[in-house]
């Protein structure tokens, strides 16, 4: 009965929606009414001008009979206001014909007023609504009667847009006569209807689209609707577990609530469109949940009939979204549909019903794409379909499920990977819509991972599947390029790239690593040769990268047998052939001396591989002598490249001496992992001193090197990074010597910070050849502020009573350290403001200063509050006790909510958009705490009521305190 009533209501609402839309809101209806109104106004103006023209003819004849003809010189002296205005219009129309265009196809944009410059003279016309533009033929000879201005009919001369009429000097002879001309015959010029210019959209990432969807419109209403959705779900679950309300009553209430949301949303669409669309989306999502619960939990509706109803609901959401052109409605409806089986899962493991349900939703999204290409909606369907499928396949997949899973995988791969892109291609031809790179490349790659899980049990199953993928995409590329030679070229290239990728992946699943490396190397050489012949830089780089990957893959094997060694020799030959091709390849904007970089690549890989040989026995790096040998190899190698490059004038090789810092940093990290100290013996101290001195000398050499490919500031940045890592490692080593007390940690950290700042100052101000790079040294002082922030975070994690010092609010070591850190940060910002360059940078990043400092103060205030409450309430200072304390959690929720509401209300009143976002983020923190903490401390009913209460509050805030609009800066130009 409930299903029948719901179906009838949906059908009636669709019929009413269709009739309302076609009768009142139809575009054709509005255009027809505008056209009728335009025809009526045109007929009135023509009839009126004809009457006035006859009067002008009579007046002209009377003037001609009484006075007679005059000479041409006397005609030039006649300068009535109307004659001057008409003459000016004729001259301007002869010089240039103005074309009136409209900005949108949906409306006849008839200009009611036209802005003119002060020096231009025009004939104004009657001011009426939807008034057509009337022009005068530039090649017609006419005259206006010599009347006083006061006698001129208002139908001829109307006031200017600003209420002024431009007049010239009055004629000197009032009795002057003019030649007889024909009366004015106006030409009605209709506004030309033009389509919108095509705009090129930049491809945005999925995170940018999600963030844009959240912040646009009314984000609070969206969040409130989602929270209300969760709250009702928890309330429904609680009622099920405790049998509070009968199943039929629950479903009836849910269905009525959904239709109430739909009706209320439709009623409010004229008053508050965004808010109304969110309500409609919530209602449609609730219908999904209701139907799913009635089918899977209570068995009130057969599965077949339930799928029919879901298809009807899906069609309804499609119709609502397309009619109103509302992506938010489509997104919220799809989110409710995808979340329905997750929130109300019965745990019976019926994967066929789940995937069939998701397949219906995917087909609905595909149908929407036929009329409206909404990228974010496609991404939501893609993420839910493959995400839920991946989670299910990891834990529940068995070999007996192969055929249904394979069919579902093929269907969804076709929908999101092929059909969606083909529909986008059709829209691209008409409206220049870009292709979705996430779906284009993400669907086949993730689908191939599923395919690997399905066919990995067979010997050559993965290789065969990859080959089939390659053949299918190659065929699609050929068909698209043949049918859409111009518009489909980009999609055809993408499909061709995918075919090459899957053909490449088919090799390692069928052959050993040695043969795979060899095949990839030959494939890379062929791509490189073809690219060089076609002068395609990117494709040549791709071929070189494939050769490099094959070389690394081959080097990862152990060369024990003779045939493996032969393969290694062949690989080396291919590497040198690659270098030769790059050296002789004549590609525009490519340096032919790139052979140096190819040789550099081989040398660096071989050098690093010689270091990794030391890892052959596993834990050999724990031996101090091995670490010293590695450092010695690094030092000798860098000096060897330096002298070899200078001896053979091969400066590209000499520039490789900058690698002394990153490779030494790698060994430092190994030291940090093993012993937490760099200097554990006299030999290690000697080698580290040699590395520091050598690094400083090689830094000077690379600074003056003309053929250095790396940017000079980047080289100095590597140098400073190495020094910072060295000091940081020694600080950690000092903290672990002799079980140092916690108070000494601050001393060691501050020593490292001060040493780094002093060293940066001495290098940038006392060394002449480093002075041009002072900026990079000053910019490396930014980690000081980061460390200070870490100190503040660390202070809030402590109770302030761990050092046997009585706890006094604001006077304990933690609070004193926070105050000191704030003073240092403030002085650092003041020091940067003294330099003009950094002052400009600080102005560009003023949001970080204006909002970062209040956020840190808010964080520090929370720490002071928690420490005070914990001390007064005798709560043990540990994370479990603080989280489990209802007093602290309630107090924090109250303080956060009040702060967020005050911030958002003030921001709405003062239209400060960024300040509103700050309050919104704080409100999101309250919601997150509600999910993660408060939800675990409360029962099922309290949890549901908390969600519903917070959702209602957020919905009210979204209605009364919405997101302030962006400020539009209007630039006005002075007219002279």
* pLDDT digits 0-9 by tens, 676-705: 666 666 677 777 778 778 888 888 887 877
Its sign, for the CA torsion 312, 318, 321, 322, is negative
Judge whether 696 lies within some domain.
yes
Q: Which residues contact 102 (CB under 8 A, 6 or more apart)?
A: 108, 109, 191, 192, 193, 194
| Whole-angstrom distance, CA of residue 543 vs CA of residue 504 | 12
Q: Of the residues 139, 174, 189, which one is the last residue of a structural domain?
A: 189
Say yes or no: 589 and 629 in one domain: no
Say yes or no: 647 and 747 in one domain: yes
% of the chain residues with pLDDT over 90 = 0
| Whole-angstrom distance, CA of residue 73 vs CA of residue 273 | 67
The predicted model gives 427-449 an average pLDDT of 74
Q: Residue 145 phi/psi, 5° resolution?
A: -60, 150
Q: Going by DSSP bridges, is the β-strand pair 133-136/186-189 parallel, antiparallel, or unpaired? A: antiparallel
Q: Of the residues 617, 649, 672, which one is the last residue of a structural domain?
A: 617
Q: Which residues pair with 135 in a beta bridge?
A: 187
Q: Where are the alpha helices (DSSP H) in 193-326?
A: 206-215, 219-242, 247-267, 273-296, 303-324
Say yes or no: 594 and 540 in one domain: yes
Helix (H) or strand (E) holding 84: helix 81-95
At residue 535, does pLDDT exceed 80?
no
Say yes or no: 633 and 601 in one domain: no
Cβ proximity of 804 and 767 under 8 Å: no
Of 350-364, 457-471, 869-883, the range with the lowest mean pLDDT is: 869-883
pLDDT at 10: 38
Say yes or no: 611 and 629 in one domain: no
Judge whether 118 lies within some domain.
yes
Looking at the chain, the number of H-run helices and the number of E-run strands are: 37, 2
Q: Give the per-residue SS3 of 525-545.
A: HHHHHHHHHHCCHHHHHHHHH
Cβ proximity of 449 and 386 under 8 Å: no
Say yes or no: 743 and 702 in one domain: yes
Say yes or no: 646 and 563 in one domain: no
Q: Residue 134 phi/psi, 5° resolution?
A: -115, 125
Judge whether 454 lies within some domain.
no
* pLDDT digits 0-9 by tens, 122-145: 444 444 344 343 343 334 444 333
Say yes or no: 655 and 752 in one domain: yes
* pLDDT digits 0-9 by tens, 607-617: 665 555 554 44
At residue 549, does pLDDT exceed 80?
no
Angle at 745 between CA 743 and CA 747, to 5 degrees: 85
Residue with the larger pLDDT of the pair 902 and 6:
902
Render 842-884 in DSSP notation, one character per residue.
HHHTHHHHHHHHHHHHHHHHHHHHHHHHHHHTT--SSHHHHHH
* pLDDT digits 0-9 by tens, 206-258: 667 666 766 666 677 777 777 777 777 777 677 667 766 777 887 888 888 88
Q: Residue 263: is it exposed, middle or buried by C-beta count within 10 angstroms (0-12/13-18/19+)?
A: middle
Q: Of the residues 745, 780, 815, which one is the last residue of a structural domain?
A: 780
Judge whether 277 lies within some domain.
no
Judge whether 443 lies within some domain.
no
Judge whether 405 lies within some domain.
no
* pLDDT digits 0-9 by tens, 483-526: 887 777 778 888 887 888 788 777 777 666 666 776 777 677 76
CA dist 940 → 231, 233, 626, 943 (Å) = 10, 11, 60, 5
Rg (alpha carbons) of the chain, rounded to whole number: 39
Say yes or no: 581 and 670 in one domain: no
| Whole-angstrom distance, CA of residue 20 vs CA of residue 8 | 18
C-beta neighbour count of 660 within 10 angstroms: 24
pLDDT at 433: 62
pLDDT at 62: 57
Print burial letters for 683-702: b (CB count within 10 Å at least 16), e (below 16): ebeebbeebeebbeebbebb
Render 635-701 in DSSP notation, one character per residue.
HHHHHHHHHHHHHTT-HHHHGGGGGHHHHHHHHHHHHHHHTS-S-SSHHHHHHHHHHHHHHHHHHHH
Q: Where are the alpha helices (DSSP H) in 218-246?
A: 219-242
Say yes or no: 550 and 647 in one domain: no
Q: Which residues contact 57 (CB under 8 A, 6 or more apart)?
A: 183
Q: Which residues contact 245 (CB under 8 A, 6 or more apart)?
A: 239, 253
Say yes or no: 770 and 633 in one domain: yes
CA dist 708 → 646, 651, 665, 854 (Å) = 13, 7, 22, 44
Judge whether 455 lies within some domain.
no
pLDDT at 574: 61
Q: How many residues does the chain have?
A: 976
At residue 602, does pLDDT exceed 50?
yes
Judge whether 155 lies within some domain.
yes
**Total of domains in the chain:** 3
| Whole-angstrom distance, CA of residue 674 vs CA of residue 13 | 71
pLDDT at 155: 40
Cβ proximity of 685 and 730 under 8 Å: no
Tell me which residue range forms the domain holding 628.
619-780
Say yes or no: 636 and 714 in one domain: yes
With both helix axes pointing from N to C terminus, report the angle between 375-396 and 206-215 in degrees, rounded to the nearest 10.
Answer: 120
């Amino acid at each position: 009965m409930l299903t029948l009533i719901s179906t009838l209501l949906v059908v009636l609402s669709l019929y009413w929606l269709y009739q309302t839309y076609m009768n009142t809101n139809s575009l054709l209806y509005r255009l027809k009414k505008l056209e009728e109104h335009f025809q009526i106004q045109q007929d009135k103006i023509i009839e009126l001008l004809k009457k006035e023209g006859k009067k002008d003819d009579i007046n002209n004849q009377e003037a001609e009979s009484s006075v007679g003809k005059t000479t041409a010189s006397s005609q030039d002296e006649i300068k009535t206001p109307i004659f001057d205005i008409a003459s000016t219009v004729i001259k301007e129309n002869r010089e240039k014909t103005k074309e009136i265009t409209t900005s949108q196809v949906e409306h006849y944009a008839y200009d009611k007023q036209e802005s003119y410059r002060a020096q231009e003279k025009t004939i104004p016309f009657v001011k009426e609504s939807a008034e057509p533009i009337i022009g005068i033929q530039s090649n017609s000879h006419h005259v206006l009667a010599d009347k006083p201005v006061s006698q001129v009919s208002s139908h001829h001369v109307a006031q200017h847009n600003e209420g002024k009429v431009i007049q010239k000097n009055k004629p000197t002879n009032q009795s002057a006569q003019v030649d007889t001309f024909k009366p004015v015959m106006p030409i009605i010029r209709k506004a030309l209807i033009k389509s919108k210019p095509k705009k090129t959209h930049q491809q945005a990432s999925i995170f940018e689209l999600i963030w844009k969807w959240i912040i646009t419109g009314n984000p609070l209403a969206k969040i409130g609707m989602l929270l209300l959705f969760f709250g009702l779900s928890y309330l429904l679950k609680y009622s099920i577990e405790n049998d509070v309300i009968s199943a039929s009553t629950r479903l009836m209430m849910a269905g009525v609530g959904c239709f109430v949301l739909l009706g209320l949303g439709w009623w409010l669409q004229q008053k508050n469109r965004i808010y109304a669309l969110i309500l409609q989306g919530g209602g449609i999502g609730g219908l999904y949940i209701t139907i799913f619960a009635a089918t899977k939990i209570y068995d009130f509706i057969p599965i077949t009939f339930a799928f029919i109803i879901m298809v009807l609901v899906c069609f309804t959401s499609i119709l609502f979204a397309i009619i109103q052109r509302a992506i938010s409605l489509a997104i919220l409806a799809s989110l409710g549909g995808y979340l329905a089986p997750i929130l109300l899962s019965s745990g019976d493991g019926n994967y066929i019903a789940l995937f069939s349900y998701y397949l219906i939703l995917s087909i609905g999204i595909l149908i929407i794409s036929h009329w409206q290409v909404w990228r974010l909606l496609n991404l939501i369907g893609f993420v839910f379909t493959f995400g839920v499928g991946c989670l299910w396949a990891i834990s529940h997949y068995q070999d007996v499920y192969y055929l249904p899973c394979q069919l579902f995988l093929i269907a969804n791969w076709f929908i999101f990977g092929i059909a969606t892109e083909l529909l986008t291609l059709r829209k691209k031809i008409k409206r220049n819509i870009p292709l979705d790179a996430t779906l284009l490349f993400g669907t086949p790659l993730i689908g191939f991972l599923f395919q690997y899980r399905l066919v990995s049990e067979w010997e050559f199953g993965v290789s065969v599947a990859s080959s089939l993928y390659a053949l299918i995409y190659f065929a699609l590329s050929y068909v698209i390029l043949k049918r859409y030679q111009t518009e489909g070229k980009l999609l055809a290239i993408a499909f061709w790239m995918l075919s090459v990728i899957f053909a490449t992946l088919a090799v390692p699943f069928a052959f050993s690593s040695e043969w795979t490396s060899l095949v990839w190397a030959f494939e890379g050489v062929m791509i490189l040769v073809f690219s060089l012949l076609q002068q395609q830089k990117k494709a040549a780089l791709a071929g070189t990268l494939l050769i490099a990957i094959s070389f690394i893959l081959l080097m990862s094997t152990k060369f024990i047998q003779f045939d493996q060694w032969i393969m290694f020799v062949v690989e080396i030959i291919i590497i040198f052939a690659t270098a030769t091709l790059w050296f002789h390849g004549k590609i525009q904007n490519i340096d032919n001396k790139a052979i140096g970089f190819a040789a550099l690549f081989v040398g660096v890989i071989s050098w690093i591989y010689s270091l990794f040989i030391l890892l052959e026995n596993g834990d050999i790096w724990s031996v101090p002598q091995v670490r010293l040998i590695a450092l010695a190899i690094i030092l000798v190698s860098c000096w060897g490249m330096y002298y070899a490059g200078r001896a053979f004038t091969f400066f590209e090789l000499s520039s490789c001496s900058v690698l002394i810092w990153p490779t030494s940093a790698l060994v430092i990290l190994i030291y940090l992992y093993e012993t937490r100290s760099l200097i554990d013996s006299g030999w290690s101290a000697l080698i580290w001193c040699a590395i520091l001195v050598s690094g400083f000398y090689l830094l000077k050499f690379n600074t003056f090197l003309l053929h250095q490919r790396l940017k000079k500031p980047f080289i100095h940045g590597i140098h400073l990074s190495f020094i910072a890592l060295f000091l940081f490692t020694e600080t950690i080593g000092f903290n672990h010597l002799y079980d140092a007390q916690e108070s000494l940690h601050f001393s060691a950290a501050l020593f490292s910070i001060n040493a780094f700042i002093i060293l940066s100052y001495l290098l940038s101000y006392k060394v002449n050849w480093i002075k041009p790079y002072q900026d990079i040294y000053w910019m490396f002082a930014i980690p000081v502020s980061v460390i200070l922030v870490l100190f503040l975070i660390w202070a809030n994690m402590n109770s302030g009573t761990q050092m046997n010092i009585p706890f006094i609010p604001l006077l304990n070591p933690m609070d004193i350290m926070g105050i000191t850190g704030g003073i240092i940060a403030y002085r650092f910002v003041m020091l940067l403001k003294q330099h003009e360059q950094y002052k400009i940078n600080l102005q560009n990043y003023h949001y970080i200063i204006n909002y970062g400092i209040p956020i840190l103060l808010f964080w520090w205030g929370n720490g002071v509050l928690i420490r005070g409450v914990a001390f007064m309430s005798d709560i043990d200072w540990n994370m479990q006790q603080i989280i489990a304390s209802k007093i602290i959690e309630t107090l924090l929720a109250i303080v956060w909510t009040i702060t967020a509401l005050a911030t958002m209300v003030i921001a709405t009143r003062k239209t400060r958009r960024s300040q509103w976002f700050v309050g919104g983020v704080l409100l999101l923190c309250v919601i997150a705490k509600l999910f993660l903490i408060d939800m675990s401390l409360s029962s099922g009913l309290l949890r549901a009521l908390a969600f519903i209460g917070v959702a209602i509050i957020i919905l009210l805030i979204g209605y009364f305190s919405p997101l302030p609009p962006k400020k539009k800066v209007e630039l006005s130009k002075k007219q002279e």
